[in-house]
Chain A
């Protein structure tokens, strides 16, 4: 009797388990085919000498890559771009959200104004940027009135600045909306208690609002970081395969070695980039976890 019951229970359990896997399968197959398998293929390619012979060379490709000047230049440029653009995208968006949270006239107009770049396709933005920053463009014309000499922006040391401005213009609105949503979620009573107990606006900002915004700040930072790595699209459309100095990004490098079908270097660069991203995001999570754990949920 007991044995019968045991077998029956076991068969029900295994049937449940099979059912579970069947329901999971579509998502699992999707993630495996489009993310996991390609990632492991890339890791495999980064550790062989070439796709035809397929000899295992372990870290040789990585060592070679780190000695490649084009790669180090691209990595430094990308890092410098991210270090400038990401904090600006977070801080300026937060400042705008705080400003629009205050009682100011034409609030909704400003909100629409800052969101409008999201609706414009990148190609048309680039076209406008080319007109603005051309040697005979509007910016130079404007600066000339103040006695500043003309500058070929995209072929100068300042070309990264042009893309930073473009990046901010494109991303600020979205980040601002995320911050505005988070600001409206801060319990009103906590700010009112601060008012009654004697806190000034700066204390409220740093001790209450930023505390509650920390999960959103993490999200916006990661989003901006990913977007800053993708800024290649704009840089490529503005300046082509081999831009001047500071605009040569990691993705330029990857794009160029892909065109040369250099799988090993491409795969190694992708792995290094993925590892760097994972480390940066992990550090951000650790910071946020320490700072914002009490205010979540």
Chain B
């Protein structure tokens, strides 16, 4: 087992496209790190550089203490699981799992033992003599996982392994992969564009955009303390409401005025004076949908502000309701409890927990409070 260290790693394709820029971070031994971001952000390229399937243009990449920039994939002691399983259609499940061991000329008896052990862990015992086309999507993905774990490599790389599965199976496989991580105690690097998958699985997440790391942190920290507008919008479902507002000083308080209402910034958020230079200037406000409450239920929230809005749509999700409202010309989404939620066309008065308000610089999109 080993950690992975990136030192200013860069990837530029021959056609000049910059896929990954100045990527520096340390993945600890036995850590489960998730690379997350939209399509084309460079997450898969980063993973493929660890695997050795893409050359590194610049920088250094270490597996443990070993510099692996120029080490062939087969000598890196890693294994990889692909999105579309990448199983050999002409081989049985047994032969697919045993593929790497056979290539390494492991004695037959040991191969049989190891494959059977892995099959037991992944519940594939009855399927060993089947060919991939006779398996379901979930079973195929388990075979691909089996092929990866049977070699007991130093690190596992998983490239969107659940994307081809349906929603139910994805949730099930998500927990199976997480359990596998606990059982194996190995380093996992996992790539996904699905923030729910990332939040639920990773010890730490690396949020990427346009080849740059935006923020590296635990899921909870990313949710609570996003460093910029992109991370704030990407992490959390439904995504954070963002609205343009003007900061004003009124009777000693700082007010954010937006089209359709105004919010008072609590003194606890303004005491260091970091917002003073934004007075009279436009900023971006961020409000998590779950920080809205119906006016009748706001009791107990210390610094709350009231806004009036008209309901445009409500979506039942069982445990609650997503309320799409329009406040002036500003579209907002609020997550509210089912009971007492308003219907289409009704006017509602919502309170916002202003302690949980996010304020971003309009130009740099960095968080300022």
Contact = CB atoms under 8 A, between A and B. Distances in A.
Q: Which 9 interchain pairs have the tightest Cβ spacing?
A: A189-B86, A197-B100, A198-B74, A294-B90, A198-B103, A294-B89, A195-B73, A189-B82, A193-B86
A192 B80 contact: yes
Contact of A197 (B52, B90, B103, B131): B103
Interface string B24-54: 0000000000000000000000000001110
Contacts of B72: 195
A185 B70 CA distance: 28
Interface string B126-166: 00000101000000000000010001000000000000000
A218 interface: no
Contacts of A189: 82, 84, 86
Contact of B88 (A190, A192, A195, A198): A190
Interface of B: 51-53, 72-74, 76, 78-80, 82, 84, 86, 88-90, 99-100, 103-104, 131, 133, 147, 151
Contacts of A261: none
B93 to A, nearest CB: 13
B133 A294 contact: yes
Contacts of A265: none
A295 interface: yes
A187 B86 contact: yes
Contacts of B80: 192-193, 196
Contacts of A190: 86, 88
Contact of A199 (B74, B79, B89, B151): B74
29 contacts: A187-B84, A187-B86, A189-B82, A189-B86, A190-B86, A190-B88, A192-B51, A192-B73, A192-B82, A193-B80, A193-B147, A195-B73, A195-B74, A196-B51, A196-B52, A196-B53, A196-B76, A196-B78, A196-B80, A197-B74, A197-B79, A197-B147, A197-B151, A208-B88, A211-B90, A294-B89, A294-B90, A295-B89, A295-B90
B88 to A, nearest CB: 6
A197 B81 CA distance: 11
Nearest to B14: A103
Nearest to A292: B90
A197 B91 CA distance: 15
Contacts of A193: 80, 82, 86, 99, 147
A58 interface: no
A197 B149 CA distance: 11
Interface in A20-47: none
A203 interface: yes
Interface string A200-213: 00010000100100
Nearest to A208: B88
The binding surface of chain A is classed by DSSP as helix
A197 B148 CA distance: 9
A288 to B, nearest CB: 13
A280 to B, nearest CB: 25
Contact of B99 (A192, A195, A197, A295): A197
Nearest to B157: A196
Give the size category of A's interface with B: 10 to 19
A295 B89 CA distance: 6
Nearest to A291: B90
Which of A192, A199, A208, A211 has the most chain B CB atoms closer than 10 A to its own CB? Answer: A192
Contacts of B133: 294
A189 B52 CA distance: 13
Interface in A163-196: 187, 189-190, 192-193, 195-196
A108 to B, nearest CB: 15
Which of B80, B104, B133 has the most chain A CB atoms closer than 10 A to its own CB? Answer: B80
A208 B86 CA distance: 12
Contacts of A192: 51, 53, 73, 80, 82, 86
A211 B88 CA distance: 10
A189 B104 CA distance: 20
B228 to A, nearest CB: 34
B197 to A, nearest CB: 20
Contacts of B74: 195-199
Contacts of B53: 192, 195-196
Contacts of B73: 192, 195-196
Nearest to A103: B14
Contacts of A203: 103
A208 B133 CA distance: 17
B164 to A, nearest CB: 12
Contacts of A197: 74, 79, 99-100, 103, 147, 151
A294 B133 CA distance: 8
Nearest to A187: B86
A196 B104 CA distance: 12
Which of A196, A199, A208, A294 has the most chain B CB atoms closer than 10 A to its own CB? Answer: A196
Nearest to B48: A192
Contacts of A295: 89-90
B188 to A, nearest CB: 15
A193 B100 CA distance: 9
A189 B81 CA distance: 10
B84 A199 contact: no
A294 B131 contact: yes
B132 to A, nearest CB: 8
Contacts of B151: 197
A190 B80 CA distance: 11
B52 A195 contact: yes
B151 to A, nearest CB: 8
